[in-house]
Structures are given as structure tokens and as C-alpha cells.
Amino acid sequence: MAILDEMAAGQEVYSIDESFLDVTGISSYMPLERFGQQMRERVRRETGLTIGVGFGPTKTLARLANQAAKQWTKTHGVVDLSETRRQQK
């Protein structure tokens, strides 16, 4: 949680292994999928843990994106549902 708190503002710890981060503004200089990969790599490198990362405009969509990131290997552990067009399939 400390690593994630360093990477983005406004962390809300939801449970022992889940939190929500405020990533407002990050997408203006980097695609969220790339940011998610950076988060995964740093956590893996510093703790040895593998995490799933999901982005969404609501906590519900972020949790769904995270679940998809964990289940589908094609996502490489990161799913971004922040854009409406990605929510419609």
C-alpha cells in the first residue's frame, strides 16, 4: 500500500489487499495502461507480489476492471475501463 500511495494521490485502502487511487491527471501525460504496468512492475520488484490493476470512473467499474485484469492473461494484469467506449462491449 505504501508503494501505491507514493505513485498516486488520494489512496483509499478498502481492505488488506485492495485500495482505490486517485489517478486524476495522470492520463494527460501517460496512458493509464502504461501507468498500471509501471505500478505492477514496481510492486513486483520491491515486494515480490503480483497485483492486478483496474481503472474505471467508479469504484464498481474499477473493481470489475481489476477482476478482468486478473482473469484474462491478454490484459497483462491491467484493464482500463475509464472511457465509455470500453464499457460497452
Virtual torsion, Cα 6, 8, 13, 18, nearest 10 deg: -100
DSSP state of 29: T
Closest CA to 32 of 13, 53, 17: 53
Q: Give me 46's grid cell.
A: 520491491
User: What is residue 25's predicted lDDT score, i.e. its pLDDT?
Assistant: 87
12 pLDDT above the threshold of 80:
yes
User: What is residue 83's predicted lDDT score, i.e. its pLDDT?
Assistant: 73
Q: Is 18 tagged catalytic? A: yes
Closest CA to 36 of 57, 7, 64, 16: 7
User: What is residue 85's predicted lDDT score, i.e. its pLDDT?
Assistant: 63
5 pLDDT above the threshold of 80:
yes
Q: Which of 6, 12, 18, 83 is catalytic?
A: 18
58-73 pLDDT, tens digit each: 999 999 999 999 999 9
